[in-house]
Amino acid sequence: MLTDTQIRNTKAGAKPFKLYDTAGLFIQVAPSGSKLWRLKYRFQGKEKLLSLGKYPAVTLSDARRQRDAAKADLADGNDPAIKKKLAKQIRSTQVENTFEAVALEWYELQKTQWVDRHAADVLASLQKEAFPYLGNMPIADIKAPDVLACVRIVEKRPAVETARRLRQRISAVFEYAIATARADTDPAAIIRKAMAPLKKGRQPAIINLADLVDMLRKVDAEPAHPVTKLAIRIIALTAVRPGTLATTPWAEWADIAESKTWRISAARMKMKLENKEDEQRDHILPLADATIEAIEALRIVSGRGPLAFPNARHAHKPMSENAMGYLINRAGYHQKHVPHGFRAAFSSIMNEARPADRFVIDRMLAHISKDKTEAAYNRASHLEKQRDIAEQWAAMIAGDLVPAAQLLEGPRR
């Protein structure tokens, strides 16, 4: 039997030679000085060799344990070399089939049916919230507590709704992994009832006219970049979605002073991907004179670039929607009103003022009929009434506000 001291003190020779232990185990010493463990055995009448690793990384006792395990495999009728090869293949497959690898494969497959903005949001949420915790784990080894621990971090921020969206996306990845034979269960589905409850509610909005006007006065008086102030003025007057306003290209307002009508490309509207290239679904919005005034004031600040509301740091990118929300918060309306709340304010106040025009008001909010023919007819037949409503709304909320040009002056934040 070999001893560790004997192996350690053995010097290399001009030719390879072997030092034998017991039961077929030996160490081969190369002229270079490397010492490699080998096991000689017979399987189905043939002599075979099994590599066990390099000394001293694999010690004498380690090599003997591997020899004993191989002998046990032989006793069970299995070839230890084949078993070792299969184990290596499984480890390699696990590396290739980590959660991150499968998730990115799923994402590439799904993103073709999403709008660019949603695709970017899905990828960013996985990269930020899931990959740091689950990314390197073999997807087949991930259990429900692993996924729950991942989403709990998001819940505790607190961001309960974001955590729920994350769980749904993780679950979709596991469904794909199951379908492609790389996982057996969906642990994200199991944790569904273990998540924090979501208290759903409407986005905060001031729907009293006097309070709304008072808020707009305070926003005008707050130190801020004029682009942000004018964004609030224009979104209040038009009641478009914050994301639609923030990404407005000047090309859509090129002749706005003459046409007094804003044609918002369907590609930028909130709708299914297959409808975004249909020009009949462009949103046509007649504008009040006060809105034109605000747009022309804005043109002085940002009119040389492609975007009406450029990011303050990166002019080729649109402003963050959060910029509008932060300004409203600083004016004293945190959790009382958000940029999206102007839609609720417009709908509530104007439906009360003009109950017979509910359908036209819905049209101005881009609540479009699913029937394309009906939608096209209504769009053409109600433009003048929409313009009349827009002027009435502007008089109600902006009649006593400072002129838009004055928002270019004053302290900036």
HSE of 399, CA atoms in CB hemisphere, 13 A: 10
Tokens of 272: 């299914």
* Residue 270 among the catalytic residues: yes
Which one of 85, 118, 377, 413 is the catalytic residue?
Answer: 377
Clarify whether 372 is annotated catalytic: no
- Judge contact between 298 and 263, C-beta under 8 A: no
In DSSP terms, 54 is beta-bridged to 36
- CA distances 228 to 159, 206, 224, 262, Å, are 26, 19, 7, 20
Please name the residues in contact with 157: beta carbons below 8 A apart, sequence gap of 6 or more. Answer: none
Q: What share of the chain is helix, strand, coil (3-state, %, to 5)?
A: 60, 10, 30
Q: Which of 241, 268, 281, 379 is catalytic?
A: 241
DSSP string of 317-351, one letter each residue: SBPPHHHHHHHHIIIIITTT--TTHHHHHHHHHHH
Which of 169, 229, 343, 363 is an active site residue?
A: 343
At 135, the amino acid letter reads G
Whole-Å CA distances, 317 to 115, 135, 206, 209, 308: 17, 30, 30, 34, 10
Task: Indicate the residue type of 129.
Answer: E
Catalytic residue among 337, 340, 379, 382: 340
Active site residue 377: yes
117 carries an active-site annotation: no
Alpha helix stretches (DSSP H) within 180-261: 187-190, 209-221, 226-238, 242-246, 256-259
CB count within 10 Å of CB 392 equals: 14
Among 54, 117, 270, 358, which one carries the catalytic annotation? 270
**CA-atom Rg of the chain in angstroms:** 34
The yes-or-no answer on residue 218 being catalytic is no
Catalytic residue among 88, 367, 412, 413: 367
Closest CA to 142 of 94, 180, 79, 80: 94
Dihedrals phi, psi of 306, to nearest 5 degrees = -80, -25
- Alpha carbon 290 to its chain centroid, in Å, reads 37
156 as an active site residue: the answer is: no
Active-site positions read 241, 270, 340, 343, 367, 377
